[in-house]
With several copies, the nearest count.
Chain A
Amino acid sequence: MKAVRLATPLFAVLLVAAVWQLAVSVFKVPAYVLPSPSQTWSALGDDWTNIRSLAAQTLYESAIGFLVGAGIGFALAVAMAHVKIAHRVLYPILIATQAVPIVAIAAPLVIILGYGLAPKLVIVGLIVFFPVVVNVLDGLSGIDAGMVNLARSMGAGPVKIFLLIRLPATLSPLFSALKLGAAYAVTGAVIGEWTASITPGLGKDLLLKNSRLDTAGVYADVLLLTAIGIGGFLLMTILERVATPWRTRSTARRWFRR
């Protein structure tokens, strides 16, 4: 069973590579239009030492932006769940932030925020925070009112009720949002680098390679960026399993038995 679960994504990867290779071969696509998987793979290998440190930079930006976005999203959701008027006023604004084409405001952001991490955090954060707000709000409003009443009947104060009853109920929807956000964060980092970078990362490298018509190099970068996004997604999947053991296990883990 476990083998099958691991095998299908692997099969999916091979399938994509096969279709890609086939398309390139059959339609005789030149490499400067679309390199084959093998050309892309060797471009990745050739430039590996350089790319590796660039990837670290992009990973860093995505990760920090992701954390900031998720943190702000979570805080907003909690505030909105508890203060009705905040919910009413903020919700349309949050919707609006998602309708703003981020690519279009990236350039002005640099001019306002400069070349540091700030504009990248804003861009990544803007992408990540929204699903977090929506899902955590869902989680908080989905709590069985009876459970809160039970806690109240035991004489528990609002802080304890929040920590022991409300908070854990948000974990599952929170992780759904985080999984998505982790995949999207990399796109945010790329947009951020394009518009505001002194420290070079993969996004910048991609531009450079593109301007030099090094298409295989561009695809190698895209491949690596995609891998980072998928890696983030998988990391969140693992964290989810650890943080919400009751969803997948019958009994508590040994070191967590209390």
Chain B
Amino acid sequence: GGAGASSGKTADGLTKVKVAPDWIAADITWIPYTVGISNGFYKAAGLDVSLVPPPDNSSSVKIVASGQADIAETTLTDQVFAAKQSLPVISIANLSQTNNWGFFTKTGAKLASPAALKGMKVGVFDDAWTKAMLGVVLRKAGLKATDIQQVTATDSDIPLLIAGKIDVATNTTNFGPPSYAEKTGAQPETMPATGLGAPDIPIWNYAASTRWLQKNPDLARKWLAATAKATEWAIANPDAAVKAYEAYHKLKPSGYATDLAEWKATVPLLKGSTGLFTATDGQWTQLTQALVAAGQLDKALPPSTYYTNKYIG
């Protein structure tokens, strides 16, 4: 593994920073980067930011650990397993602050209780977050993993739900309902996981390689600051932000309404009581305890092994 991907300089004196997002293809959580790039926020901070999508939705931390990228957009669960496997990565900021993960059913087909999941076909993703939350919810509901039929979706499970191939989709409020609405013109029934015993903790975060951080603490700070600026701008100008995002990724304008709906549903998740980014010990402790309880993690490490706030602000 080469460790030399970082810290090159471009011809006009900018420092290169490579970001590995959390998904193989562009989605609206990439809006801050594209706004940061197209509005020149990164450039103003002396950074030349480029995106290197991971080979699958679990590998962005590996990309960073192996030096193929400098900063990863990932999930808290990935960070926990990365620490378990001794990957040299640490979370430097929360991307979102609330748990908007949950279950979605067709319009008018609301589930009475989590116990109703028994025997149902449930769409799942092959990432650690879904596994973790599903584990927690099922345990609280007194169900075993084998009590439901888990159907893996390669990309989105919403089409499977609409087509009636699954009974329940697992998704997040900023992605599930907008795409359901786009195809059906109606809203799906939502059952948030936080109401079923799941902790209200962030889903997504930014992580970086500890080696890179040691060498480039300023770069990390500058990048977070510029990203914060871009995020604030995108919150204030949702239409323009979505247009910039679509233009940057050459997306068909036919998806504009959905993209905008998704971004608008994302905005409320971004800030906690202390605004953007800041993480707390409690968030990480809740997550690791839930994982241990669900039998997916053997032991919880101190929160400081998972995250740091020292590059924020």
A208 on interface, CB distance cutoff 8 Å: yes
A78 on interface, CB distance cutoff 8 Å: no
Residue of A46, A47, A115, A198 most packed against chain B (CB within 10 A):
A115
Residue of B53, B81, B128, B249 most packed against chain A (CB within 10 A):
B53
**Complex alpha-carbon distance, A110 and B159, angstroms:** 11
Closest Cβ of chain A: how far from B64's Cβ, in Å? 10
Which A-B residue pairs are the 5 nearest by beta carbons? A195-B55, A107-B55, A207-B126, A211-B58, A207-B25
Other A-B pairs beyond A107-B56, A195-B152, A210-B126, 4, CB < 8 Å: A32-B163, A195-B56, A212-B84, A212-B251
Is the pair B252, A47 in contact by a Cβ cutoff of 8 Å?
Answer: yes
A142 on interface, CB distance cutoff 8 Å: no
Contacts of B155 in A (CB 8 A): 107, 207, 210-211
Within 8 A of B (CB), among A24-80: 29-33, 46-47, 50
- Name the residue of chain A whose CB is nearest to the CB of B180: A213
Partner of A211, one of B27, B121, B151: B27
Partner of A213, one of B58, B126, B152, B296: B58
Partner of A114, one of B27, B126, B165: B165
- Mark each residue of chain B from 115 to 131: 1 if its CB lies under 8 Å from any CB of chain A, else 0: 00000010000111001
Given contacts A208-B131, A208-B249, A213-B82, contact A32 B159 (CB under 8 A): yes
Partner of A215, one of B85, B160, B165: B85
**Complex alpha-carbon distance, A46 and B255, angstroms:** 14
- Mark each residue of chain B from 155 to 196: 1 if its CB lies under 8 Å from any CB of chain A, else 0: 110111011010000000000000100110000000000000
- Name the residue of chain A whose CB is nearest to the CB of B57: A211
Contacts of B1 in A (CB 8 A): 29-30, 33, 111-112
Is the pair B128, A107 in contact by a Cβ cutoff of 8 Å?
Answer: no
Residue of A30, A31, A110, A114 most packed against chain B (CB within 10 A):
A110
Chain A residues at the B interface, C-beta cutoff of 8 Å: 29-33, 46-47, 50, 106-107, 110-112, 114-115, 194-198, 200, 204, 207-208, 210-215, 217
Contacts of B52 in A (CB 8 A): 115, 198
**Complex alpha-carbon distance, A29 and B252, angstroms:** 24
Contacts of B106 in A (CB 8 A): none
Is the pair B165, A111 in contact by a Cβ cutoff of 8 Å?
Answer: yes
**Complex alpha-carbon distance, A30 and B209, angstroms:** 14
Partner of B25, one of A29, A46, A47, A211: A211
Residue of A46, A111, A112, A212 most packed against chain B (CB within 10 A):
A212
Residue of B25, B121, B127 most packed against chain A (CB within 10 A):
B25
- Name the residue of chain B whose CB is nearest to the CB of A54: B250
Closest Cβ of chain B: how far from A126's Cβ, in Å? 16
**Complex alpha-carbon distance, A217 and B121, angstroms:** 27
Is the pair B131, A211 in contact by a Cβ cutoff of 8 Å?
Answer: yes
Q: How large is the interface on B (under 10, 10 to 19, 20 to 34, 35 or more residues)?
A: 35 or more
**Complex alpha-carbon distance, A198 and B122, angstroms:** 9
Given contacts A208-B251, A211-B127, A213-B81, contact A111 B59 (CB under 8 A): yes
Q: Is the interface of B mostly helix, strand, loop or mixed?
A: loop
Q: Show 6 A/B contacts (Cβ-Cβ < 8 Å), sorted by A.
A: A110-B165, A194-B55, A198-B149, A207-B24, A207-B155, A211-B58
Closest Cβ of chain B: how far from A174's Cβ, in Å? 33
**Complex alpha-carbon distance, A110 and B250, angstroms:** 24
Is the pair A197, B156 in contact by a Cβ cutoff of 8 Å?
Answer: no
Is the pair A111, B159 in contact by a Cβ cutoff of 8 Å?
Answer: yes
- Name the residue of chain A whose CB is nearest to the CB of B69: A115
B258 on interface, CB distance cutoff 8 Å: yes
Contacts of B131 in A (CB 8 A): 208, 211
Contacts of B55 in A (CB 8 A): 106-107, 110-111, 194-196
**Complex alpha-carbon distance, A183 and B65, angstroms:** 34
Is the pair B58, A210 in contact by a Cβ cutoff of 8 Å?
Answer: yes
B68 on interface, CB distance cutoff 8 Å: yes
Contacts of B254 in A (CB 8 A): 214
Contacts of A110 in B (CB 8 A): 54-55, 59, 63, 68, 160, 165
Closest Cβ of chain A: how far from B20's Cβ, in Å? 10
Residue of A197, A200, A208 most packed against chain B (CB within 10 A):
A208
Partner of B126, one of A32, A33, A111, A208: A208
Contacts of A213 in B (CB 8 A): 58, 61-62, 78, 81-82, 84-85, 87, 156, 158-159, 179, 182-183
Is the pair A106, B154 in contact by a Cβ cutoff of 8 Å?
Answer: yes
B304 on interface, CB distance cutoff 8 Å: no
B282 on interface, CB distance cutoff 8 Å: no
Is the pair A198, B85 in contact by a Cβ cutoff of 8 Å?
Answer: no
- Name the residue of chain A whose CB is nearest to the CB of B50: A198
Is the pair A111, B160 in contact by a Cβ cutoff of 8 Å?
Answer: yes
Is the pair A32, B252 in contact by a Cβ cutoff of 8 Å?
Answer: no
- Name the residue of chain B whose CB is nearest to the CB of A110: B55
Contacts of A217 in B (CB 8 A): 252
Given contacts A111-B63, A198-B50, contact A208 B26 (CB under 8 A): yes
Within 8 A of A (CB), among B51-109: 51-59, 61-63, 65-66, 68, 78, 81-82, 84-87
Contacts of A114 in B (CB 8 A): 2, 5, 68, 165
Closest Cβ of chain B: how far from A101's Cβ, in Å? 14
**Complex alpha-carbon distance, A212 and B77, angstroms:** 8
